[in-house]
């Protein structure tokens, strides 16, 4: 049995001040490999649809005919499964914070129409 078992720790904490980071004034550097928001690189995508097929939550949709890749950000769980499956490496998980979603709309990326043959 001991009295004041926590006094030393409490006193030290009091003198040291907060141990938390002062977000948003101080932003934490995320370690590499943190699973953040999914990033899509349109230029290399071949719209094969493997990512959509593998997605465990059905957040991704790919339409080969219209060359459209879309994501429901609220369904994505950042599991990295699509990134590992993508043969063209056009998907990546970013480590940065994402802006909060304002609407429930899907984020749609459509390939630009090819230039007319001259």
Partner 1 sequence: MTRTIMPFGPQHPVLPEPIHLDLELEDEIVVGARPSIGYVHRGLEKLCETRDYTEFTFVAERVCGICSFIHGMTYCQGIEELLGVAIPPRAQYLRVVWSELSRLHSHLLWLGLLADAFGFEALFMQSWRLRELVLDCIELTTGGRVIFSSACPGGVRRDVTPDQAAFIRGKLTELEQRLGEIVPAFLNDPAVRQRLAGVGVITRQQAETLGAVGPVARASGVAMDMRTSLRYAAYDELPVEPIIANDGDCLARCRVRIGELTQSIGLIRTALDRLPAGELAVKVTGNPTGDIFARAEQPRGEVIYHLKGNGTKFLQRFRVRTPTFANLPALLAMLPGSALADVPVLVLTIDPCISCTER
Residues engaged in binding partner 1 (CB under 8 A) = 1-3, 5-6, 8-10, 13, 19, 31, 33-35, 54, 56, 77-81, 84, 93
Judged by beta carbon, residue 76 or residue 111, the one nearer partner 1 is 76
Judged by beta carbon, residue 74 or residue 84, the one nearer partner 1 is 84
Instruction: Write down the least CB distance from residue 47 to partner 1, Å.
Output: 21
62 phi and psi, to 5 degrees? -130, 130
The residues with which 62 forms a beta bridge, in sequence order, are 69
Instruction: Write down the least CB distance from residue 110 to partner 1, Å.
Output: 27
Instruction: Write down the least CB distance from residue 32 to partner 1, Å.
Output: 9
Query: Which residues neighbour 30 within 8 Å (Cβ) at sequence distance 6 or greater?
Result: 36, 95, 96
CA distances, 62 to each of 36, 55, 66 (Å)? 21, 11, 9
């Amino acid at each position: 049995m001991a009295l004041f078992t926590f006094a030393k720790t409490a006193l030290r904490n009091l003198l040291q001040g907060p141990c938390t980071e002062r977000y948003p004034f101080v932003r934490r550097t995320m370690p590499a490999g943190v699973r953040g928001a999914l990033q899509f690189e349109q230029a290399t995508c071949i719209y094969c649809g493997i990512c959509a097929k593998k997605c465990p939550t059905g957040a991704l949709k790919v339409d080969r005919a219209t060359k459209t890749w879309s994501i429901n950000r609220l369904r994505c769980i950042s599991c990295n499964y699509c990134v590992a499956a993508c043969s063209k490496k056009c998907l990546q998980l970013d480590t940065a914070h994402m802006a909060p979603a304002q609407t429930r709309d899907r984020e749609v990326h459509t390939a630009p129409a090819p230039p007319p043959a001259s």
